[in-house]
Structures are given as C-alpha cells and as structure tokens.
Copies of this chain bind each other. A is one copy, B any other.
Amino acid sequence: MNVQLETNSSKRDAILNSTLLLIKEYGFHGTPMSQIAKHAQVAAGTIYHYFDSKETLIIELYIRTRDQLTEALMEGYEQSSPYKDRFFKLMHNQYNFYIQNEPAMVFLEQYVNSPFAKNFPEKDSILFKEKIISFFESGIDGGYFKNIDPRLLGPTIRGTLVAAANFRLSEQMIYSEDDITEVVQIVWDGIKRQ
C-alpha cells in the first residue's frame, strides 16, 4: 500500500481531485467512498490501494491542498523587495488562490473547522507557520504594523480574505484587479500602524 511515492499515478490524483470536488458539494459525511470511486472512474477497492482509509484520504488531500496554497502564496515573491510590497504580494496571491480554487478554499475551511484538524497535529507545517509569524514580527519591528500578537495576524487576515472571496464567489461577481485591491486594502488598513 502507498508504494509509489515518486511516480505520478494518474488514478491517485483522480481520486484526490474527485474527493475535493465532491466534498465541496456534499461535505465530508455526504460523500461516500463509492461515490468518490464512481466520480474518479475507479473501482471502490482501488482507493484502498492508495489510501489506508477514508480518514487518511482526507488528511492527505488536506496536505496536498495546503501545499498548493503555500506554493501559490510564494509565486513571484522576491526576498529583496521592500517589505510592504512583499506583504501585498502575499495577500494578493492568497486572495487569488481562493478565488481561482473555490473547491480548495471550501475544503480548507471545512477541514479546519472539523475534528480532523484537532486529531492530526500538523507536524511539518509548524515550521511554515513560524516563518509566517517571524515575517509578521519583522513587520511589527519595522514599524509597519500595530503592535499586535503576531500569531493573531495570520488567522485574522485569512478570515478577511476568505470571507471576501466567499462573498465574491457566491454573488458570482466578475472580479477585477480593483476588487482585489479593495479587499487587500481593508486588511492592510486594519493592521497597519496608524
């Protein structure tokens, strides 16, 4: 089980993709393995060739989705750029990812508010979180942000961006660069040193 860690197995990907789509539509409990199998066009047993159980399937889907978000966040990020530019870049990237990957956003939101998140200590992502936190710390030290607990900033920003993205998507609005800037500006004005 779970033999080919390196090989790009199309079925494995198909299973993960179907799970993401179906969970967005019907929720965790609303999507039986049989339905995932049908949607991914594999036999029910095949899923168990790649994943030990439904739970690990969902956890691995979470890891993959989270890593995709991380990668999207970092796109075009230049360590040498001014701090404020880097911050705006990160927020733009995050907001764009949500808008362009609604199933991923919905799934991530469901996941973090579910018992899975509690029972699965995030291990490696702690390193990433510490990176984010130290990024915020330097923003505070640099005089850009209010003197807020830096651990509070990540969730707060995510909350705003997710809420805004959800709204845009539910209203089926055509979003423009101006839209994005408006939302990012709300975040920035909220936390910047006045």
Check if A190 sits within 8 Å of B27, measured CB to CB. Answer: no
Question: What residues on B are CB-neighbors of A143 within 8 Å?
Answer: none
How many copies of the polypeptide does the oligomer hold? Answer: 2
Interface stretch among A1-9, A38-46, A68-76, A149-157? A149-157
- Give me the interface of A with B, judged by CB distance under 8 Å: 25-30, 106, 109-110, 113-115, 146, 148, 151-152, 155-156, 158-164, 166-167, 171, 182-183, 185-187, 189-192, 194
Q: Is the interface of A mostly helix, strand, loop or mixed?
A: helix
The one of B28, B152, B186 in contact with A167, judged by C-beta atoms closer than 8 angstroms, is B152
Given A27-B28, A156-B183, output 10 extra A-B contacts at Cβ < 8 Å.
Answer: A30-B115, A110-B113, A146-B185, A155-B164, A159-B160, A159-B161, A159-B163, A160-B160, A186-B190, A186-B191
Check if B25 sits within 8 Å of A160, measured CB to CB. Answer: no
Question: What residues on B are CB-neighbors of A192 within 8 Å?
Answer: 189
